[in-house]
Structure 1
Amino acid sequence: MNKPLRRVSAFCLALVLVLMVWATWIQGAKASDYREDPHNPRVNIAKYSAPLGNILVDGQPITGSAATSSSLTYKRTYKDGPLYAPVTGFSSQIFGSTQLESLYGDLLGGSDSRLQNPADTLLHERPKGGDVATTIDAKVQKAGYEALGDKTGAAIALDPATGRILGMVSTPSYDPGKFAGSSTADQKAWQSLTNDAGQPNLNRALRQPLPPGSTFKLVVAAAALENGLYSSVDQPTTSPDPYTLPNTRTQLTNESASAPCENATIRTALQYSCNTVFAKMAVDLGKDKVRAQAEKFGFNDATMDVPVRATKSVYPKDMDQAQTALSGIGQFDDQATPLQMAMVASAIANGGDLKAPQLVDKLTDGGGNTVQQNDPKTYRTAMSSRTAAQLRSAMETVVDKGTGSNAKIDGVTVGGKTGTAQHGVDNSGTPYAWFVSYADDGKGHQVAVAVMVEDGHAARNEVSGNGLAAPIAKAMMQAALS
């Protein structure tokens, strides 16, 4: 064979070898990637070829599957879709999936390896989809949803002893069943949802951080007690009224000129929500100590999974003393989700032991056998049991004699803290109303709740944590303890 032919032959052989290696790599190493690629139509065809497993509340399905006439044989259905949308997310034949529908898509669709048995493997059959049992209490969820009504906001309830999320509500909400299929009507429903200025598909309980206002004073109070700045909630503080912000001529005042805020104790300062006391307290502690305490509650944690990822709540780092003072009353650049503030109340209620919040109790296969059980876990020790007891006592005063009276429940011990956070340039927008609380029935049952109302359709001078948010918290606490 002459030299040119040998070169051509060698080149062709090399091409064949490259092709064989490429084909082997595609069919072997990359096969699972292509199988799971959402742009591969076979993925959706396989996923919707049989009924999906279900998401459960109180052991009952709040999802289902309905037969269609398309190549995607089944589509997802939802029971009480708007009520549970913040919990389930959505599963759409066209627009993908979110939240629990997305995180447990393999289990619900039957492709999770934990569902495989030898017979399925041998016959190359897809197992029946498994179920996701949530920690949600239907009574608590419904109470929060109905109490929020047409307000824009969110509410979340936790079991302090376990971290179980008993209710997670966000309004306005949406019906995920309206765009679960692939019809023209489904596409129009999706377009309407995404164009809605009210952002119904935003889970405000987990993913809407806003200034927490005076509810953040609980964090500052915990820092003061933990760091020995004050020995108890009944020791007088060093707090002028009004308080001039450090290195400025700006005077910080209190909501009520008649409130006994000058040199008030922490108990009295929480009862009357004295800005001057906690602004001065934050400066006396220093930003680093306040931030350390905030982070024990979960602030600045960008990996908060319940298992749905929650947006990070922020206590800022780079502040001067005047900014530190404002941060001490939940303003400046403080940002908190309702989940975060519920965690603050939960840690106080549970003696300082903060349990990791969790939305899923267990995962089961198609036959109801447990494949994963989620047991309670401690997130962090947020404070000493003594500090927690002191704060509970002061929060109970807030409800019994102070700004949180609308949260009272007969025969139940309730502690709370109101908050009204400034909104807009120079507080030009309607303020946000907050309420964080816990309730204890004295029989071993507790619940911690945080409520945030962005827009309660109330006149500006009528916006308050006690007026708008406390009744919502009360409804959820009553449902949890009923």
Structure 2
Amino acid sequence: MSKQLRRVSIVVLMMFVALFVSSSIIQVFSTDTLKSDSRNVRTLYDSYSAQRGEILDANGKVIAQSVPSKDVYKFQRVYADPKLYSAVTGYFTINQANPGIEGSLGDYLSGTANEQFFDNLNNIVTGKTPKGASVQLTIDRAVQKAAYDALGDNRGAVVAIDPKTGAILAMVSKPAYDPNQLAVHDTSKFFATYNALSGQKYSPLVNRAIAGDLYHPGSVFKLVVASAALESGKYTPESSFLNPARLQLPESTSFIQNAGGGTCGAGAKATIATAIKLSCNIPMAQLGAALGNQAIADQAAKFGFGQSVQIPMKSTPSIYPTGLDAPQTMLSAFGQSDDRVTPLQIAMDSAAIANGGVEMQPTLVQKIIAPDLSTIKSLTPTVFSTPISADTAAKVRDMMISSVAGGAASNATIDGVEVAGKTGTAENGPGDPYTLWFTGFAPANDPKVAVAVVVENGGGLGQDAFGNLVAAPIGKKVLEAVLNK
């Protein structure tokens, strides 16, 4: 009899162990898989049962909130000024991957982040209605609107950064879209809208500021090459190169020329400083050949090329190619060849120069606020990298000041303010419209903002446009929006 009881006891014990192990596996190891399973309708309903936290601008104005809904999901996401902020907020919809802040900080907004565990436990005990945390952004409405309005009907993007903190003051991508049209509870309606937007020739769902097909940087990349030259210790702003009106590429029958078709200023030679001021290609191509592909690649990597930067959304890494031959390296030195960048990266480059060579981690988040108004997280300025020395930064800054004061970036001039800037006009292929750029910062000696502007399709002017004509005035308006606050 005792043997039989022992056997039964062992079987019962094994059953309890099996139950414990299986429940532990489900609760600990399979939680994320089960939550993300599209068949888990209960989880789907639960994600809407708590009131999702608000998204606020830098001044505390609500730009996204959840309001009561009459269907089973309880709450409906609503966006104020939807197109103005679409590149920042993204949208929140049923059982889909959500872009923007809605996706990257979805756990805080829904109240499921680890830091909110005890708050949720308290809600269960006290019977309070669960609510997610609010996210206050670094986006300044006045600067965001200035960027949005200045970009007008152009396709492109604008990024403005506080170079001292990394706070992103504006991030605009055009064409924009209305997140309210996608934040719906009807899946078929969502897909109809999503497919229609995705099917447009110039998809508004692509955040051109941080992602997409990326752009040839053109002459704004000369700032990286000039930095590489000065950092090598072999060159100064007054180092000079031959100054022909046309230059044949080595190992090639092709010629390159400067934007105006003539020489880079007067004289048989042109300095690096003159090449930056007047945005000349030929001296920079010769400098690129002298530095070599690897030296330029190393400097680009120090600025952040090749890295996905989290703001908290992940950006597409900008590209400076390695393994280039001599003619390709010369083309790459003025932002052509296979150079590809995001506006975010170009804004980071300028911000590093503005900040004495120290590149701060860019971010859209000022703080995350619990329902009881306590702060869960707040912006702590963090160094992303130190790509150049303070001395190099000062010398590149002075060349950029010269470019605005009397050079190729003159349309960024602001009365009574010293502005540092650089324009770019990137080629995209025979007959294709140019890509137009401006990047810079102000005030030059105590910068409050660094900006990058890109305009596609030649701003509607094809190959008759250039960066100073179209992009520089946009950059100027963004700089003024910060300086006039």
> Structure 2-normalised TM-score?
0.91
1:243–1:252 Cα contact (<8 Å) kept = yes
Matched, 1:440 2:443: yes
1:110–1:126 Cα contact (<8 Å) kept = no
Q: Secondary structure at the match of 1:28?
A: helix
Aligned counterpart in structure 1 of residue 233 of structure 2, from 219, 228, 233: 228
Distance in 1 of aligned mates of 2:343 and 2:251: 33
Q: Decide whether aligned partners of structure 1 residues 314 and 162 sit closer, same or farther in structure 2, where only a CA change above 3 A counts.
A: same
Deviation at 1:445, TM superposition (A): 4.7
Deviation at 1:300, TM superposition (A): 1.4
Q: 1:472 maps to which residue?
A: 474
Q: 1:275 maps to which residue?
A: 281
Alignment of 1:130-169 (within 5 A): 130-169=133-172
1:205-262 superposed Cα distances (whole Å, 9 cap, x missing partner): 001321101111111111111112322x234334554222122232221122334355
Q: 1:173 maps to which residue?
A: 176
Distance in 2 of aligned mates of 1:379 and 1:23: 44
Distance in 1 of aligned mates of 2:280 and 2:458: 24
Q: 2:461 maps to which residue?
A: 459
Q: Decide whether aligned partners of structure 1 residues 324 and 187 sit closer, same or farther in structure 2, where only a CA change above 3 A counts.
A: closer
Q: 1:5 maps to which residue?
A: none
Matched, 1:397 2:402: yes
Counterpart amino acid of 1:91? F
Alignment of 1:396-415 (within 5 A): 396-415=401-420
Distance in 1 of aligned mates of 2:243 and 2:362: 36
Q: Decide whether aligned partners of structure 1 residues 267 and 441 sit closer, same or farther in structure 2, where only a CA change above 3 A counts.
A: closer
Distance in 1 of aligned mates of 2:44 and 2:272: 58
Counterpart amino acid of 2:166? G
Q: 1:68 maps to which residue?
A: 69
Distance in 2 of aligned mates of 1:289 and 1:421: 22
Deviation at 1:18, TM superposition (A): 9.7
Matched, 1:212 2:224: no
Deviation at 1:196, TM superposition (A): 1.8
Distance in 1 of aligned mates of 2:262 and 2:107: 60
1:390-417 superposed Cα distances (whole Å, 9 cap, x missing partner): 1111111111111111111111111111
1:337-395 superposed Cα distances (whole Å, 9 cap, x missing partner): 00011111111111111111111111111121111122111111121111111111111
1:411–1:441 Cα contact (<8 Å) kept = no
1:423–1:431 Cα contact (<8 Å) kept = yes
Deviation at 1:293, TM superposition (A): 1.0
Aligned counterpart in structure 2 of residue 340 of structure 1, from 333, 338, 345: 345
Q: Decide whether aligned partners of structure 1 residues 217 and 27 sit closer, same or farther in structure 2, where only a CA change above 3 A counts.
A: closer
Counterpart amino acid of 1:406? N
Q: 1:260 maps to which residue?
A: 264
Matched, 1:49 2:53: no
Deviation at 1:456, TM superposition (A): 4.8
User: Over the residues paired in the alignment, what is the CA RMSD in angstroms?
Assistant: 2.6
Q: Which runs of 5+ in 2 are unaligned?
A: 1-7
1:158–1:165 Cα contact (<8 Å) kept = yes
Counterpart amino acid of 1:447? V
Distance in 2 of aligned mates of 1:34 and 1:125: 28
Distance in 2 of aligned mates of 1:31 and 1:295: 38
Deviation at 1:181, TM superposition (A): 1.4
Q: 2:293 maps to which residue?
A: 287
Deviation at 1:336, TM superposition (A): 0.8
2:458–2:466 Cα contact (<8 Å) kept = no
2:436–2:455 Cα contact (<8 Å) kept = yes
Counterpart amino acid of 1:451? V
- Any runs of at least 4 consecutive aligned residues in structure 1 with deviations exceeding 4 A, and if so which? 12-19, 123-126, 184-187, 238-241
Aligned counterpart in structure 2 of residue 327 of structure 1, from 326, 332, 351: 332
Aligned counterpart in structure 1 of residue 193 of structure 2, from 185, 189, 192: 189
Q: Which runs of 5+ in 1 are unaligned?
A: 1-8
Q: Decide whether aligned partners of structure 1 residues 126 and 31 sit closer, same or farther in structure 2, where only a CA change above 3 A counts.
A: farther
Distance in 1 of aligned mates of 2:126 and 2:33: 22
Distance in 1 of aligned mates of 2:55 and 2:192: 26
1:70-99 superposed Cα distances (whole Å, 9 cap, x missing partner): 211111100011110111111012534122
1:229–1:285 Cα contact (<8 Å) kept = no
Q: Secondary structure at the match of 1:97?
A: coil
Matched, 1:77 2:78: yes
Q: Decide whether aligned partners of structure 1 residues 162 and 480 sit closer, same or farther in structure 2, where only a CA change above 3 A counts.
A: same
Q: Decide whether aligned partners of structure 1 residues 175 and 275 sit closer, same or farther in structure 2, where only a CA change above 3 A counts.
A: same
Distance in 2 of aligned mates of 1:284 and 1:235: 12
> Structure 1-normalised TM-score?
0.91
1:30-74 superposed Cα distances (whole Å, 9 cap, x missing partner): 452355225222222112123210111021210012322221111
Q: Decide whether aligned partners of structure 1 residues 243 and 14 sit closer, same or farther in structure 2, where only a CA change above 3 A counts.
A: farther
Aligned counterpart in structure 1 of residue 311 of structure 2, from 306, 311, 335: 306
Q: Decide whether aligned partners of structure 1 residues 455 and 260 sit closer, same or farther in structure 2, where only a CA change above 3 A counts.
A: closer
Q: Decide whether aligned partners of structure 1 residues 295 and 441 sit closer, same or farther in structure 2, where only a CA change above 3 A counts.
A: closer
Distance in 2 of aligned mates of 1:335 and 1:187: 31
Indicate the percent of aligned positions where both proteins have the same amino acid.
Answer: 38
